[in-house]
Amino acid sequence: MSIQFATKRLGKELQKIQNYLPPGIELVSADNFEEWLVDIRVLDENPLYKGQIYRLKFKFSSSYPIEPPEVVFVKLADRPIPMHPHIYSNGIICLDLLGHQGWSPVQNVESVCMSLQSMLTGNTKNERPPGDEEFVRANRLRPNQIDFYYHDNNV
Amino acid sequence: MDSEDDFMSTVSSEDDILPDDSDNDDLSGAEDFDFDDEPDPDLGTHKDAEYRKRVAYDVSFTVWQPQDMQKQQDDLINEVNMILDISKGDAAILLRHFRWNKERLIEDYMDRPRKVLEAAGLAQSAAGPQKLEVIPGFVCDICCEEGEGLQSFAIKCGHRYCVDCYRHYLSQKIREEGEAAHIKCPSDGCNLIIDARSLDLLVTPDLTERYHQLLNRTFVEDKDTLKWCPAPDCQNAIECGVKKKDLDKVVPTVSCLCSHRFCFGCILNDHQPAPCELVKKWLKKCADDSETANWISANTKECPKCNSTIEKNGGCNHMTCRKCKHEFCWMCMGLWSEHGTSWYNCNRFEEKSGTEARDAQAKSRVSLERYLHYYNRYANHEQSARLDKDIYVKTERKMVQLQKESGMSWIEVQYLASASQALQTCRQTLMWTYAFAFYLARNNLTEIFEDNQKDLEMAVEALSEMFEKPVTELADSKLKVVIMDKTSYCNKRRVILLQDTARNLAEGIEWPGTKVSDH
Ligand SMILES: [Zn+2]
Ligand SMILES: [Zn+2]
Ligand SMILES: [Zn+2]
Ligand SMILES: [Zn+2]
Ligand SMILES: [Zn+2]
Ligand SMILES: [Zn+2]
């Protein structure tokens, strides 16, 4: 697949994003068409996430958007990893939308951010996925090489 | 390599069949074994007609070669084409949609033809068949392009994308993800499968071959009774009727025409007599314990408090555990504080703290030693089984040498090939008897099992020794008789062991899987 394919689409997305982004989503950097950083926060009063801002890192392959981007939360001094039963403490997200099976090429950076926002908004459990510690210690795979079993897509 | 494979397959096709005892009559000169005292009521009287009777542990299976599978698909397509009076192309699509269940397809189609056609993506829409179209004002939601003359395509759901994006999408699915018969519409949340006609229209020539290859694979992958032979480069599939729920009662070893023997239940190499579940458990245990096992030597003990392994590296008996800082005496395992001033010289062997610690240590030692006992024997046979590959090569070379030196014909040295094949198969079985025995609850069946195991092991080692003889001796006709004799005895011992075990498994007697104590 030509690199142009991804570049063209990302260029269009960027144009649109720079014009307008939904509330709670902010573009931090998009210096190239390989890696973008975006900040998100939840808009409601959910005590788990209130007042926090989270940093997302998007990585795009040359097959984007046919292939999903790799999306992880990154940890900084003022950017924690949100507590959620589908988010590992190293920032890896277990969400079917980001896997090959659940991804649709009509999705984009904005729609992924919105899905993550609502995934946080709807959550009440102050916990990590089962086996978090072991996973974080043992995992050497890239997020999109992991075969997550999406037990519960409603969380 | 080809010739070696052929040579192997001709021999191995025989090894799940009862050895014909009538052969042994000719070999009665052999001093080592007396066949008459072997407890085998089923053996001995079979003549040619019953020779090929399958033994108790055998499951029946069929090997499908690519041309067989092609023919079977063609036959099914032709049948559906005739019975339902639809084109062959549509028949193929319907059959794939019904996962090659012809009966269900015909039944459903007779009941509700429209619904079946619709579900398989074959229903005629009012607008006629799907085609590439240029629609004014169209914007593609994938590449976000718009423009004059942009060709686009949509399946019945109406989700329309430009042809370029559609092809990128299909290429990703077919080339990278290996999908063909069940590719969904690219739209988010739309579950409509892209029908075969649309695929034919869109799939680019560079993908056609892969696409048809994948379609062919669905014939095997859609059926529970068919599985691919896992040997590298083997194109065959095996059909076997053993169900998943029966895997605690039967170990379905199948053998491909390529000579690869594997378990139909879990696809691992043949692991008779151990059931799949036990094999999984054992392999996991071995993986978990390999480090522990390596650590253990005369110079290590476990800390009586936290059980972490402590290595002694000097003469001093005063030990401090690096992990929990517990201080104890190496000699008696007792608290160091109880030793008072008798530094470096333990004389407190009777102290209570020491006795308890020694007991606990002994217990964990016993369980570890028990595991190591079985593991070492398992690993030894595994290694020897690997060496068997070398023995094959050596045998072949020896045979050629033998033929040159003695002028024997090819057929006359086949006994060496049979002998090394028997060695390999028997070692494979032996290896798994040790994993099996590790989980075995002790009862009178255990003893029979262990006797069988011991007999097979002795037979294998006796045959194995034969291969250490120089070629000139191997050419001796007397030795030939001995080797044939020992080969046949090995095979026979293996059959007896597997048969006894299979019978007990089938009867569901307290056997691994039902009463596995977790070590
Ligand atoms: Zn497009
Ligand atoms: Zn659709
Ligand atoms: Zn094969
Ligand atoms: Zn198995
Ligand atoms: Zn300790
Ligand atoms: Zn002492």
pLDDT for the residue B339: 58
Question: pLDDT category, B443, cuts 50, 70, 90?
Answer: confident
Close Cβ partners of A143 (under 8 Å, ≥ 6 residues apart): A70, A71, A72, A92, A93, A98
Instruction: Report the alpha-carbon distance of residue B505 to residue B490 in Å, rounded.
Output: 22
Query: Which residue among the candidates A40, A72, A81, A94 is catalytic per the annotation?
Result: A94
Active site residue A113: no
The model's pLDDT over B37-63, given as tens digits with 9 standing for 90+, comes to 333 433 333 333 333 345 567 889 999
The model's pLDDT over B257-293, given as tens digits with 9 standing for 90+, comes to 998 999 999 999 999 999 999 999 998 888 776 545 5
- Please compute the mean of the pLDDT values over residues B357-365 and round it to a whole number: 67
Cis peptide before A82 (omega within 30 of 0): no
Question: pLDDT category, A154, cuts 50, 70, 90?
Answer: very low
Close Cβ partners of A134 (under 8 Å, ≥ 6 residues apart): none
CA of B314 to the centre of ligand 6 (A): 15
Instruction: Catalogue the long-range contacts made by B280-286 (C-beta closer than 8 Å, 24 or more residues apart).
Output: B281/B439, B281/B516, B282/B378, B282/B435, B282/B438, B282/B439, B285/B371, B285/B519, B286/B375, B286/B378
Choose the closest CB to A66 out of B141, B168, B190. Answer: B168
**Strand, helix or coil at A124?**
coil
pLDDT for the residue A141: 61
Question: pLDDT category, A151, cuts 50, 70, 90?
Answer: very low
Q: Are residues B187 and A65, on separate chains, in Cβ contact within 8 Å?
A: no
Q: Are residues A105 and B177, on separate chains, in Cβ contact within 8 Å?
A: no
pLDDT for the residue B406: 72
**Strand, helix or coil at B34?**
coil
Instruction: Report the alpha-carbon distance of residue B273 to residue B433 in Å, rounded.
Output: 6
What's the pTM value of the predicted model, to 2 decimals?
A: 0.60
pLDDT for the residue A3: 61
Instruction: Report the alpha-carbon distance of residue B369 to residue B364 in Å, rounded.
Output: 8
Residue B343 has pLDDT above 50, yes or no: no
Instruction: Report the alpha-carbon distance of residue A117 to residue B388 in Å, rounded.
Output: 60
**Strand, helix or coil at B366?**
helix
Instruction: Report the alpha-carbon distance of residue B320 to residue B73 in Å, rounded.
Output: 72
Beta carbons of B226 and B237 less than 8 angstroms apart: yes
Instruction: Report the alpha-carbon distance of residue B104 to residue B108 in Å, rounded.
Output: 6
Of A20-34, A95-109, B347-361, B500-514, least confident by mean pLDDT is B347-361
Percentage of residues in chain B having pLDDT higher than 70: 72
Instruction: Report the alpha-carbon distance of residue B379 to residue B381 in Å, rounded.
Output: 5
pLDDT for the residue B164: 92
Of B119-123, B255-259, B354-358, least confident by mean pLDDT is B354-358
Going by C-alpha positions, the residue among B482, B487, B477, B489 that lies closest to residue B417 is B487
Instruction: Report the alpha-carbon distance of residue B361 to residue B300 in Å, rounded.
Output: 11
The model's pLDDT over B383-435, given as tens digits with 9 standing for 90+, comes to 777 776 677 677 778 777 777 777 766 667 788 888 888 988 999 999 999 99
Which residues is A71 bridged to in the sheet?
A58
Q: If you average pLDDT over every residue of chain B, what do you get?
A: 76
- Please compute the mean of the pLDDT values over residues B468-485 and round it to a whole number: 80
pLDDT for the residue B345: 42
Across A13-27, B41-55, B389-403, B437-451, the highest mean pLDDT is recorded for A13-27
CATH of A3-124, one of 3.40.1360.10, 3.10.110.10, 3.40.50.300, 3.20.10.10: 3.10.110.10
Going by C-alpha positions, the residue among A118, A36, A134 that lies closest to residue A82 is A118
Instruction: Report the alpha-carbon distance of residue B304 to residue B354 in Å, rounded.
Output: 9
Contacting residues of A for B143, CB less than 8 Å apart: 5, 8-9, 12
Q: Are residues B168 and A1, on separate chains, in Cβ contact within 8 Å?
A: yes
Q: Which residue has the higher pLDDT, B338 or B251?
A: B251
pLDDT for the residue B255: 94
CA distance A8 to chain B (A): 7
DSSP B211-242: HHHHHHHHHHHT-TTEEE--STT---EEEE--
